[in-house]
Amino acid sequence: MTETLLVYAIIPFIKIAVIVLILSGAIAYLTLFERKLVAHIQVRLGPMRVGWHGLLQPIADGLKFILKEDIIPSKADALVFTIAPAISLIPAFVVFSVVPFGPPEMFEGLLRWSLGWFFDSATVESVAQNTLASGGFITDINIAVLFVLSVSSVGILGIILGGWASNSKYPLLGALRSSAQMVSYEVALGFSIIGVLLVAGSLSLVEIVQNQEKAHLWYVFVQPVAFALFFICGMAETNRLPFDLPEAETELVGGFHTEYSGFRFSLYFLAEYANMITISAVAVTLFWGGWLRPFPNVSWLAFLGLIPPVLWFLIKVFLFLYIFIWVRGTLPRFRFDQLMRYGWKVFLPVALGNVIVSAGVLLAFL
Amino acid sequence: MLGSYIPILIFIVVAIMLPVVGLAVGRLLRPSRPHGTKLMPYECGVDPEGDARERFSVRFYIIAILFVIFDVETIFLFPWAIIYDRLALFGFIEMTVFLGILIVGYFYVWKKGALEWV
């Protein structure tokens, strides 16, 4: 009984609490990192006043968001207007329940040590052996890739509902654009993942990483086209520049969140950055070997193993976030017709071709 | 097997608590002074003209339909990709035919101009 409770409720809850805290902190400091980086790209300094080099800026922003008046426009649909930002934030977090950040035996030692204080050795042993408790992930399900795709597309609903409920012209235009854009790029995104699945032969994200270890190869080297598509479409899915048409300031004021203020606005903001982290983490898991260190089978590089797997995972995710912001600082925004043309006439055929060619080439190796 | 979904449920509950707690705490702290002009929908400072929810371009509708077709198509590809190593040549030919039908439809849509955005 205690064992079941530990494995299925208490230990997952502790992991979830820690991850949610880390994720919230990471999102807060990602905003500062973005402002700093973009500022330096544009030869400015960025936030400098709050704390040393603006290090306390995210905390000041957070406090201000909570203290600001929360305006619900008179013509808006109050209920939908209230829950829409939450609908867009919650899925961005929930996706993390299946993304592995460490190997399946990551917490085994820690569990043995900490549980040894409270329980008899038989319970400790069986809990520590269970990968659901000791693994470097919250849970490992056999349809993880489908779960990621389906849950992350729920986030789009938050944007559409928010724009619709505002009952104002700019938010509605932003919401329409974002639905068309996300829907178009999701097709190419789905096709690009098929390429990895062909090679990996599993839908579980943990198994995909383990298969990369067994194959002695990160899948980006067998599926470079799929990775490029995944990354570009991921950028479009998260509404990041150069694909940030839904909130194009110069034409739509603030896009779908024009009418939002205070804490509700900050929820949309958090959701966007959480989605950035999610897309980066999924890209790292599918294509860049997740928690694996570079060249896991080259013996003279064994000193790289001194850095724990979870740090390798974080380093890779951080690199992707850097690229996200770098792209924002470098590329101008697309026009809407260009955006739709790239989505349907370039990325979709390339993704389809990639699936067929990969399947054909794979056939020669079977 | 189903047990591994319990942590996801816990995570969903925790994730729901985040905005709920934030909004509840904020309600105690923030001012609330509604005012007619403040609550007006934003339209560059002018009084809003008519209702926002009017008819919009039919192209959005077409894109939505195309999305449904193509997205269902990808879902069919997922199980095929997973067991591709066992299906081998049979699977390849089957899927080429399946995708072939899709590609014919794709070119039809392209020629009809449904992908043009003017």
A121-151 confidence digits (pLDDT tens): 888 877 777 777 788 888 888 888 999 988 9
Report yes or no: B38 at the A interface, CB cutoff 8 Å.
yes
Q: Smallest CA–CA separation between B103 and chain A, in Å?
A: 9
C-beta atoms of A93 and B118 within 8 A: no
Cis ω before A73 (30° cut-off from 0): no
Rounded CA separation A306/A294 (Å): 12
Return the ∠ at Cα A46 (arms to A178 and A273), rounded to 5°: 30
- Dump pLDDT digits (tens) for A188-227: 888 899 988 888 888 888 888 888 888 888 888 888 899 9
CB atoms within 10 A of CB A210: 18
Share of chain B above pLDDT 70, in %: 98
pTM of the model: 0.89
Mean pLDDT along residues A37-42: 90
How many residues does the structure list for chain B?
118
CA distance A203 to chain B (A): 7
What's residue A350's pLDDT?
Answer: 92
- Among A15-19, A240-244, B25-29, which is the least confidently predicted range? A240-244
Q: What is the C-alpha to C-alpha distance for residues A259 and A255, in angstroms, rounded to an integer?
A: 9
Whether B50 contacts chain A with CB within 8 A: no
Assess whether pLDDT exceeds 70 at residue B1. no
* Chain B residues with beta carbon closer than 8 angstroms to that of A96: 11
d(CA B29, CA B25): 7
Residue A247: closest CA among A233, A257, A235, A236:
A257
> How much is the pLDDT for A281?
92
Q: Does B9 reach chain A within 8 Å, measured CB to CB?
A: no
pLDDT more than 90, % of chain A: 12
Place of tokens 């905003």: A31
User: Distance from A271 to chain B by nearest Cα, in Å?
Assistant: 11
Model confidence band, residue A322 (pLDDT cutoffs 50, 70, 90): very high
Do the chains contact at B7 and A86, CB–CB below 8 Å? no
Q: Most A CBs within 10 Å: which of B84, B86, B92, B98, as the mutation test of the A interface?
A: B84
pLDDT at A187 over 70: yes
Neighbouring residues of A73: CB distance < 8 A, sequence distance ≥ 6: A81, A166, A167, A168, A259, B39, B40, B41
Residue B43, SS3 per DSSP: coil
What digits encode the pLDDT tens for the residues B30-44?
Answer: 888 878 777 777 777
Indicate if the pLDDT at residue B72 is higher than 70: yes
In sequence order, the 6+-apart residues with CB closer than 8 A to the CB of A279 are A234, A235, A237, A238, A320
The confidence score (pLDDT) of residue B34 equals 79
Express each pLDDT in A347-362 by its tens digit: 999 998 998 898 888 8
Q: Which residues of B touch A139 (CB under 8 A)?
A: 4-8
Is B104 part of the contact surface with chain A (CB cutoff 8 Å)?
Answer: no
